Chain A
Amino acid sequence: MNKEVEILKKARERLDPTSQPWLDALLRYAAVVQGWHQEPPRDSARAMQINAQLLATAKLARAEDIKLHNLLAEKRQSRR
């Protein structure tokens, strides 16, 4: 996954501005996952905190994904 994140970061400047919020949200989610792997939580309180972050960032990434795809579908419809 680390390699994917690196390539996504490099590809950012070549992507359309409409897809940037999705990419940002995905990278934020990836940062939480990477943080978990680099430094696993020592107590349950910390684990719960990271879990909450994981859920929140994943939901945001999913919401941005759906928003972008809806936008693209609307554009496609209007072109027709």
Chain B
Amino acid sequence: MPKDSLPADTVFSRTPFRFHSGLRKTSAAFCYGFLLCSGFAQAPRPQSSLPLNTNAGAKTPVPAVSTASPFKRTTAKIGAPLFLSKPTGNLPAGNVQLTATELAPDQGAADGGPIQLTQNLSLGTRAGLDAVWQHLQTLHKDWKPQARCQVAFSEVLAPDETVAFDFPIAILLTSMLGDWSVAPSCAAFGMLRPDGTVFPVSRALIRVTAAARGGAKRILVPERNGGQVADMLLNDGPAAFSAVQIFAVNNFEDAQLYAAAEPSREIAEALSRFEAIQQRLSAPGADPEALLKDPDTLEALRGVLLKSPNHLSARLLLGHSSGRYKIFSADGSSEVIERIGASLVPRAARHARMTRRACRRIS
């Protein structure tokens, strides 16, 4: 870079010592360093009016970056079915509201990173947030670590809930950075990798059920959790299952398509077509199983898939009409046993840990 093109208020242009010869530069720098160490001289202070990011450990002040915020919106909200520390109903999970807010430079923890949470900062969580940060940086290059935001949860999460909120947090932040709004009754869960792949999470059947019961109308799930979503269809039946529109997401780039309050024309058409099917299946006196054999319903479901191939609800209802999904998946079976045997399973586990003598004493 030519010297003339340097910004006028950088530290370097204000340094009062300028040298032209390499030899003189080296010897003068050595002498100056000696004087500095012995306290006979003071380091030159920059005369810039811009604020400096002074790092306590650094010897020289770091030039300030632009303070213009990359966030086009200051706040955003989304639902996420997460496991709670104190479950209120018969489900251990609930549809937790996540709220992301842009932080002012003097707010939040200075060393908390660009994405900060109000709770649940375990090691796994930090790794997940780093993945979100890395991926969003590839999409929004103007987002520097100095622009920080905080994500608050409406409920207290279970301590082992560490990564399932990566994906919804990434959706929130990308909506703030990209200036679009998330649909009000939208929920999402999943793990995000730095390359943008949305990974499946455990106990998806409980999560989807919790989101649906918590009032979500549109749910974004990792594509590879589709098997557990089919378990929900088997568990709740077609009428209750069709009350929500579930989309399978494999790559983060697709998230905006399905989560936006104002989606593209194709997705909007798929949503409205599926709403018509929902009304038909949940009409009073309707037989959902018989309706799913009706050619008009099947044609309507195919129409939804034509507009949006990732519409998981339509895909699974079509599969159900052709006789698929009669048994739970392996993951779903284990969740079903745990839920039905809510007192039996822990009792057996407690008994298994006992010694013969303790067991005799209790009985």
Contacts and interface: CB of A to CB of B under 8 A. Distances in A.
Interface of A: 1, 4-5, 7-8, 11, 13-16, 18-19, 22-23, 26, 29-30, 33, 36, 47-48, 50-52, 54-55, 57-59, 61-63, 65, 68-69, 71-72, 75-76, 79-80
15 contacts: A8-B340, A11-B337, A15-B337, A47-B360, A47-B363, A51-B360, A52-B356, A55-B352, A62-B353, A65-B345, A68-B330, A68-B334, A71-B330, A72-B334, A76-B202
Interface string B321-337: 00000111111111011
A3 to B, nearest CB: 9
Given A51-B363, A76-B202, A58 B337 contact: no
A8 B326 CA distance: 17
Interface string B90-104: 000000000000000
A54 B363 CA distance: 11
Q: What is the interface residue range for chain B against chain A? A: 20 to 34
B200 interface: yes
A50 to B, nearest CB: 8
A59 B355 CA distance: 11
Interface in B331-362: 331-334, 336-337, 340-345, 347-349, 351-354, 356, 359-360
A16 B352 contact: no
Nearest to B326: A14
B329 A16 contact: yes
Given A16-B333, A26-B341, A80-B199, A61 B348 contact: yes
B334 A19 contact: yes
B235 to A, nearest CB: 9
Contacts of A62: 348-349, 352-353
B337 A23 contact: yes
Nearest to A47: B363
B234 interface: yes
Most buried by A among B330, B348, B349, B359: B348
Contacts of B351: 29, 54-55, 58
A36 B362 CA distance: 13
B82 to A, nearest CB: 18
Contacts of B329: 16
B74 to A, nearest CB: 36
Interface string B297-340: 00000000000000000000000000000111111111011001
A28 B131 CA distance: 46
Contact of A16 (B200, B332, B356): B332
B344 A72 contact: no
Contacts of B328: 14-16
Contacts of A15: 327-328, 333, 336-337
Q: What are the 7 tightest A-B residue pairs by CB atom distance, in nearest-first order?
A: A58-B351, A62-B352, A19-B333, A16-B333, A15-B333, A58-B352, A61-B348
B280 interface: no
Contacts of A51: 356, 359-360, 363
A79 B342 contact: no
A1 to B, nearest CB: 6
Contacts of A48: 360
A32 to B, nearest CB: 10
B354 A72 contact: no
Contact of A14 (B327, B341, B344, B360): B327
Contacts of B332: 16
A4 B363 contact: no
B126 interface: no
B213 interface: no
A23 B345 CA distance: 10
B354 A11 contact: no
A50 B359 CA distance: 10
Nearest to B360: A51
Nearest to B331: A72
